[in-house]
Structure 1
Amino acid sequence: MNFNPETTRNLALAVLNDEAEAVRNLAQRIDDRFLEACRCILACKGRVIVTGMGKSGHIGSKLAATLASTGTPAFFVHPGEASHGDLGMITREDVVIALSNSGETDEIITILPLIRRLGVPLIAMTGNPGSRLGADATVHLDVSVEREACPLGLAPTSSTTAALAMGDALAVAVLDARGFTANDFARSHPGGRLGRRLLVHVADIMHTDDAIPRITPEAPLKDALFEITRKGLGLVIVAGADDEIQGVFTDGDLRRTLDAGHSLDGLTIGEAMTTGGHTAQPDWLAVEALEAMESRRINALPVTDAENRLVGVINMHDLLRAGVA
């Protein structure tokens, strides 16, 4: 081993520069062929089938995943398996995207006649427009690079980066043409943080019915303290028989009452509560409740319907458990 820090640093910088140049050079290839590839995908009534061998296969798998998560049904088919039965996954309503830097990958060339027989559009992404794959394609996207970033010129580096970037450009262009929104993205990612922030509503996680810490305004303050302790949400909501909120009493209100020298004996919750207060609506996104709490520096919000009737309560711990905060 002959590790030289300066040599290593320079080589790493050279790799980044070579790959950045390879991506920059793709800009001039966003032409009519690229637009035709977008049209093929947008017109597809079935799925987009992505295929590729080796490192191109890894890039293809990522492209299929990106398409699928941005509104275009897609999946990856290994070309080696395709000629042994998996080609049956492709229907006449699909579109095929094939990735091969050389454009001569045996496993892909083998299945070209079968793809042609199905009559499906074939989008090829290669570094060799004159290759058999490039010549056979409905649309060819040129992802050629001047050189690989590998100092031996052997390991796929700049070429896979270029293919990855072109695939992302294709997916994002199609996403925009479909009118795909952040809410659409969230529905494809319900387990992710973004999905939770865009899909979880206050009604989904609020406490309701007997879990709501509530008390009438004429009740003794001591009863309110017991209610806060029993429900464990850091507040009690003061509401009349008609469920209309009159105020709230929090741990902070208790400290302020004691600091003011008031005796807890004989004091009603109506005399000690904070009148009115902020509320949330059941149809709010949970993230809206989070923003309301953070902006007002509070840890809980009563939830009311359109007539200001108490229907629930939500606190910061609920938002944390839901993965929103």
Structure 2
Amino acid sequence: MLGVRARARAGAGCGLTRFGCLQSRRFFWVALGGFFFVWTLYMQVGLDWTPLRAGLTAAPFAVAAAAGSGLSVQVFVPRAGRRVLATGALVNAAGFAGYIWVATHYGPGITSWQMIIPLTVSGFGFGLVVAPMVDLILTDVPAPDAGSASGTLSTVQQVGMALGIALAGILLFTRLAGDSGRGVGAVTPALHQQLTSAGVPTADQDSVIAGFRVCVHDRSAATDPTPIPDSCRARPDTPPVVQRILTAAGLQANAQNFARAFGYTLWYGVGTMIAVFLGIFGLPHRMRRTEPSEQLASTAA
């Protein structure tokens, strides 16, 4: 009888630990789900990169995440416990902050090589958190409850990602629409020079740029980038050379806007990872994996 009560008390504590861990994991995926969403839009819609280039750019994150996952479970967690998860959350936040600086500093001219360091740092921090957290949640779950525990874990992860995508999307598109004038202002001096070289009279350039400004704003405010806004459709009397100039300037202005909006939105990811860091202090100091043979022996007792 005493053994049953002891196991019940242990099970209750383990349940509280799993509940706290599930909440930390949900916040973790709120940050990562939003990051993956805006990151993809930033590279393919903002910088106009091909899906292949965007995918290859993600390779440092994937490699670093694999390395962090393996090292955390096999080497770090047995020695440092929850401090590994806390360190991983801070490392991930530092990687996001570094990415914000890189995106803002290099603007539309950023290259895949310049993203390697922040992506590697973010990926390694991601790996330090995600693998041991799964172990902590599922360890000591009784065998009959393994399916429901795994389903709950997957549900929490999916809900966190969906919430993160929704929040990041609101922040990104709100920032794009409200800050579209910055991109237009950045390309306007060069646009004046190009229009002059194309033979557009100075008196007509202001009206052309005013229409260009409206087009960029409508593009930035659109949640679906596929349809062409009416303000961006070329008039029949627009010379082809002018249309090409405006198209190229529009891509540059869009890249400028996305670089700033991406950095602004990613700050929410930094804040969320700090919340994960604070939540990890509710977990046990030491984290021990239970082997299946030990669990069967405990159940039999």
| TM > 0.5 fold call | no
Pair member with larger Rg: 1
Q: TM-score, normalised by structure 2?
A: 0.32
- Which of the pair is proportionally richer in helix? 2
Considering Cα pairs closer than 8 Å and 6+ residues apart, tell me whether 1 or 2 has the greater RCO: 2
